[in-house]
Structure 1
Amino acid sequence: MSARVRVAARLAGAAVAVFVLVLVLGELLTHVLVHGWVGRTDDAIERALLHHRTPTWDSLTYAGTQLAEPTTIEVALVVLVVALAVATRRVLPPLFLALTVGVESGIYFVASTFVPRDRPSIPRLGVGDPHASYPSGHVAASICFYGGLAVLALVLTRLRWLQVVLTGLAVVLPPAVGLCRMYRGFHHLSDVLAGGLLGLLWLGSTTGLLLLPAVRQDRASVREALSAPPRPPARRSPR
């Protein structure tokens, strides 16, 4: 079995494992936990957010939601995949970002289909499937997209300012997006946490199974090439 096949098999196994975990957690949440303190906490938070709605916060949360809208992520992903391929002239960086964001989207779609959950009972500020509250796809997508960019910057570049900026965005934006989605009546807190778990697990999987091993192999090849003794000059045969 070639190295590429082994990596692909491990990634497929990780994707299945993440999906099963999210699915089991969703079944537990929607059939058991919603009838206890988790459900009461979700409802209390939503009522509190409804009580604090203002036109200013309505506008700000709309803008925050757009940072992880499917259209926004998809367009930015296409642009960045092409840019990474051109700038690095390597397959790994664009492949890593595409797999991280794309497979997460697939896991979310299937999980939300198998685990329908009603949106919060408060009025929603926008349009969406009323039975697709679990998990928060916006939060998962923001972790995989912005977190994926931060990981690439930390692993592949030495630009300190870029690492700081992208890491800051990866830390700040997912919780902000989750809060915006809750404020606008699209998710319970438990849905946001589940989306965060999905995003973190899959980003960790692609980083640990795909990106870091390839980077370590490249660096080992460079060290081996630098430490190899120079070849003696070829002798010219006498004429």
Structure 2
Amino acid sequence: MDKNEKLAGLAFLLLLGGLGLASLFIVLFAELAEEVMDQEVSLFDDFIINGIQAISSTTMDTIMFVFTEMGSVWFLTLSSIIILLVLGVKMKDKWGVLFFIIAVGGGSLLTLLLKNLYLRDRPSINEEIDAIGYSFPSGHSMGSLIFYGFVIYLVIRTHQRPWIQWTVVTVLSLLIITIGTSRIYLGAHFPSDVLAGYIAGLIWLMLNLIALEWIQWHSKSPVPAVHALRQLLGPLYKKLLTKVPFFSK
């Protein structure tokens, strides 16, 4: 097996592994949704809410309002336009543009679909913080994970300097967590809504990035995917057969 075939085979295995991981998160989301519908998460929700409310203050109200706006529709839409300009004009990455639109736009539609599927009422209604409509899953949490997660992917994918990568990953990861926390603090969502938003957002983001990586790799690799996988696993399969008594007879 030459180097190209080996690399192609490993890339294909990574893609399969990503699909497997996404499947596990789908199961996790389904289990959480079932617990929510059966009203079996009240202890979890109450514990988190009480802990967050313990740090409430006028200053904290302002801080949390700022963070919740960073996950709002208007802010993510404006930020998405900037990312699209960078991808399309500066980087000329047509596939990046397409899958960014699918990830962010499709994520918004998926959020609406899930909300109208589970029909969970909010802890409180407040139009000033976009706390209207149904509660499960949290749209701010899901949207921020998809958007900022995609930005993290772009920074890593473009091979920026290590300190830049670590800074972006750390800052945006903390931002995603804080946005979700702000929704609980401001009374817009239950903690289980936020957790569900993170899980659903992660699933959707992973599927889009897997598809994007697959297309980019497939368009550049001179080795067909199935052939690469066969070449990679063939020697392992033959070795396994010689070690298992039943097959070696």
Tell me if both proteins adopt one fold, taking TM over 0.5 as the criterion: yes
TM-score range, shorter chain: 0.7 to 0.9
Partner of 2:236: none
Alpha carbons of 1:51 and 1:96: their partners in 2 closer, same or farther (altered >3 Å)? same
Question: Any stretches of 5+ residues in structure 2 without a counterpart?
Answer: 1-22, 223-249
Partner of 1:14: none
TM-score by length of 1: 0.73
Partner of 1:28: 34
Partner of 1:232: none
Greater shift, 178-187 or 23-32, is seen at 23-32
Partner of 1:138: 140
What aligned pairs does 1:103-118 form with structure 2 within 5 A after superposition?
Answer: 103-118=106-121
Q: Distance in 2 between matches of 1:51 and 1:135?
A: 24
Q: 1:135-191: CA deviations, max 9, x gaps?
A: 111111111111101111212334434422332233211111111110111111111
Q: Give 1:27 shift.
A: 5.0
Alpha carbons of 1:216 and 1:156: their partners in 2 closer, same or farther (altered >3 Å)? farther
Q: Distance in 2 between matches of 1:99 and 1:170?
A: 21
Sequence identity of aligned pairs in percent?
24
Q: Distance in 2 between matches of 1:159 and 1:214?
A: 25
Q: 1:107-152: CA deviations, max 9, x gaps?
A: 001111121112226x869454555211111111111111101111
Q: Does 1:72 align with 2:57?
A: no
What aligned pairs does 1:197-208 form with structure 2 within 5 A after superposition?
Answer: 197-208=199-210
Question: Any stretches of 5+ residues in structure 1 without a counterpart?
Answer: 1-16, 222-239
Equivalent in 123, 148, 154 of residue 156 of structure 2: 154
What aligned pairs does 1:1-239 form with structure 2 within 5 A after superposition?
Answer: 24-25=30-31, 28-32=34-38, 34=39, 36=40, 38-120=41-123, 126-129=128-131, 131-210=133-212, 212-217=213-218, 219-220=220-221
| Equivalent AA in structure 1 for residue 155 of structure 2 | A
Alpha-carbon RMSD: 3.0
TM-score by length of 2: 0.70
Look up the SS of the partner of 1:29 in the other structure.
Answer: helix
Higher RCO, Cα 8 Å, sep 6+: 2
Alpha carbons of 1:164 and 1:76: their partners in 2 closer, same or farther (altered >3 Å)? same
